[in-house]
A and B are shown apart, each in its own frame.
Chain A
């Protein structure tokens, strides 16, 4: 008499493919998952609570450590929120520097997503090619801000440092180089039969699901919703640039994979135009008081990070520290659909689905 039994498998928190300290308790029948329960919080540092005792400029380095693959957008969202409350006009040159830095960071972030996703699926080489190109971006941002990952570059009212001499030219040269590499990525991976077999039709959800689960970024656009805050609610100077919002209809892992690569292309378009229109002269920091005090009241701003919609809510009682700070962290929201997607899939697909959501645990846990 054959007897089968369900088995509880503990994936993580130290597992090569959970992209950090993420734990997933899955109930498996053979290799088929019957139930999956994500356990998060291993990287929780209480950023929001800590921020209540910090001055606004002091909060910026904490945001670096949330989505550590895309610190520039995090820097921007807190600065943007404070600027909105105080009504500060950011100088044009600072805006350009911010946009260039954010878009470079977006490309770098998508490169990591691409490389690690392919690595999750078992191919080792593309990961290293992605990191070679990311390294160039990191070096450029390092020249700009003095840090490779946690940039702490933006300030309320502008940016901390001006671009060093020859930096803009470097960004200009990088754009065609990256375009060429991107073609290489497509040639290497996008058409590979084994790869397509593993990602096509995997982890599919509908447009309604995506909206109900409050997904954003490529996770939302893969279902055909054309929603990108850079276009729909332009902030900074994004309305000056001509770029598309790539969307896909199929809602599967392949669509998300492909969208990220297409978004790199669009970011390159923005970079190209931003470098061209870059003002030769100008202030990089607006006139702001020495001690920044947001006026009494509250504000919520949202921008498009590589992972989706990142929002910042500030409630202030007029002091130099916020009364309450809240981040809408896209990875956290995007992760919520995981248990639904994993039901009935096998273990190999589990990795493909989790990787395609592209989470950063620093952001999930806050």
Chain B
């Protein structure tokens, strides 16, 4: 259907349909964020001998996040007097918009995908890098020293970890010969790339945690050192936008790992093919999200300078070696 629409001449009708589809995706993502946050609080709660939210919305606290978001909407919108007003206002939008844009190329199943573009993987990585500008701008515009340090850390961390992230998927690209996410999934019919590219997967996973700014790489907002980092001056819905970006990225990154390394919507065994692809996708996706939450409640935080060292001196060489190894194996055996 989307193919037909793309071929048709531009007009209000297909604009309306695309707009509607975008809104649907946004709702799905917001639904995930709502329950992703709840899941994180619940899982961390059980790991930490707590109950987690259990008051609003029955025994499971099902409406807790909804209540939280409503509260954020009603909060007074504070802009510090000394802040750079236009930048301060636009920074959360810059941080959030790319997180939603990257989802356009994500193939959730073989049919449910919005834009099947040839360079899907490259698009994801390029666009997701834009969020850092939002953080850096937010940190700068707040006119707060902690926020500035947080923003600077965010920028430094992005540069150090984007590179190993890209390098680690090059092995996958070598094996597939394509940057198209659909083709990457299709190539995994006889073996997931997590098995063919274990080193690449590990590097990618570590770098992805740093990309997501989650523990143990949550330096830009490390609450024990920088209080809240780049968003220390934000409150109300502007703050919610930063948080939203973070959780949408969690959604996007988990989806990307599922697609690139865990075979996307494909079943693990061919005989399990009767179960719809969406279920497989959801299952794998949930496992990845769970691992992120698990790591968060286990590890202490890296130190800023060691983080750079680790990125440049460990992850990057390993990722490069992986490319070399993959190329060697490919040219010898395939």
Q: Among B47, B48, B226, B301, which residue has its beta carbon within 8 angstroms of that of A121?
A: B301
Q: A31 vs B303: C-alpha distance in the bound complex, in angstroms? A: 11
Interface residues of A in 131-149 (CB under 8 A from B): 132
Our pick among A119, A125, A197 for the contact of B303 (Cβ within 8 Å) is A197
* B300 and A348 form a contact (CB under 8 A): no
Is the beta-carbon distance between A351 and B225 smaller than 8 angstroms? yes
Contact A16–B227 (Cβ < 8 Å): yes
A-side interface size class:
20 to 34
Q: How far is the CA of A324 from the CA of B133 in the complex (A)?
A: 61
**A interface, by DSSP: helix, strand, loop or mixed?**
helix
Task: Specify the chain B residue showing the minimal Cβ separation from A347.
Answer: B225
- Could you tell me if A348 and B48 are in contact, using CB atoms closer than 8 angstroms? no
Contact (Cβ within 8 A) B224 A119: yes
For B305, the closest partner residue in chain A by CB is A346
Smallest CB gap from B50: residue in A: A128
B266-323 residues at the A interface, CB under 8 angstroms:
296-306
CA distance A124 to B296 in the complex (A): 8
Given contacts A128-B50, A194-B216, A350-B225, contact A123 B299 (CB under 8 A): yes
User: Roughly how many angstroms separate A129 CA and B47 CA in the complex, as a whole number?
Assistant: 10
Chain B residues within an 8 Å CB radius of A125: 44, 47-48, 297-298
B82 at the interface (CB under 8 A from A): no
A228 lies within 8 A of chain B by Cβ: no
Q: Could you tell me the dominant secondary structure of chain B's interface residues?
A: helix
Residue A9 CB within 8 A of the other chain: yes
Q: How far is the CA of A16 from the CA of B222 in the complex (A)?
A: 11
What 1/0 mask marks residues of chain A from 1 to 40 whose CB sits below 8 Å from any chain B CB? 0000001010000011100000000000001000000000
How many chain B residues touch the partner (CB < 8 A)?
29
- Given A122-B218, A122-B224, the answer on whether A198 and B299 have CB atoms closer than 8 Å is no
Are the C-beta atoms of A198 and B224 separated by less than 8 Å?
no
A129 to chain B, nearest CB (A): 7
B224 and A347 contacting across the interface, CB-CB below 8 Å? no
Check if B149 is an interface residue, CB within 8 A of chain A.
yes
Assess whether A64 is interfacial by the CB under 8 Å rule. no
B145 an interface residue at 8 Å Cβ cutoff? yes
Question: How far, in whole Å, are A119 and B48 apart by their CA atoms in the complex?
Answer: 13
For the complex, is B183 an interface residue (Cβ under 8 Å from A)? no
- Check if A75 is an interface residue, CB within 8 A of chain B: no
A195 interface residue, CB < 8 Å from B? yes
CB pair B224–A16 under 8 Å, yes or no, is yes
Could you tell me the distance in whole angstroms from the C-beta of B188 to the nearest C-beta in chain A?
32
Q: Which of B223, B296, B301, B304 contacts A31 (CB 8 A)?
A: B304
Contact of B300 among A123, A128, A132 (CB under 8 A): A123
A192 at interface by CB-CB < 8 Å: yes
A123, B218: Cα distance in complex, Å? 11
CA distance A17 to B146 in the complex (A): 14
- Cβ contact within 8 Å between A31 and B149: yes
Whether, in the assembled complex, B215 has its beta carbon less than 8 Å from a beta carbon of chain A, the answer is yes
B contact residues around A15 at 8 Å (CB): 227
Determine if B49 is an interface residue (Cβ-Cβ < 8 Å): yes
In the complex, chain A residues whose CB is within 8 Å of the CB of B48:
124-125, 128-129
Q: Given A16-B227, A31-B149, do A349 and B300 touch, yes or no (CB 8 Å)?
A: no
Task: Return 26 A-B CB contacts under 8 Å, by A number.
Answer: A7-B145, A16-B224, A120-B224, A122-B215, A122-B216, A122-B224, A123-B215, A123-B299, A124-B44, A124-B296, A125-B48, A125-B298, A128-B49, A128-B50, A129-B49, A189-B300, A192-B299, A192-B300, A198-B301, A346-B304, A346-B305, A348-B219, A348-B225, A348-B305, A351-B224, A351-B225
Top 3 A-B pairs ranked by shortest CB distance? A122-B301, A123-B300, A121-B300
19 more A-B contacts (CB under 8 A) besides A122-B300, A194-B299?
A: A9-B145, A17-B224, A121-B300, A122-B224, A123-B300, A124-B297, A125-B48, A125-B297, A128-B50, A194-B301, A195-B300, A197-B303, A197-B306, A346-B305, A347-B149, A347-B225, A347-B304, A348-B303, A350-B225
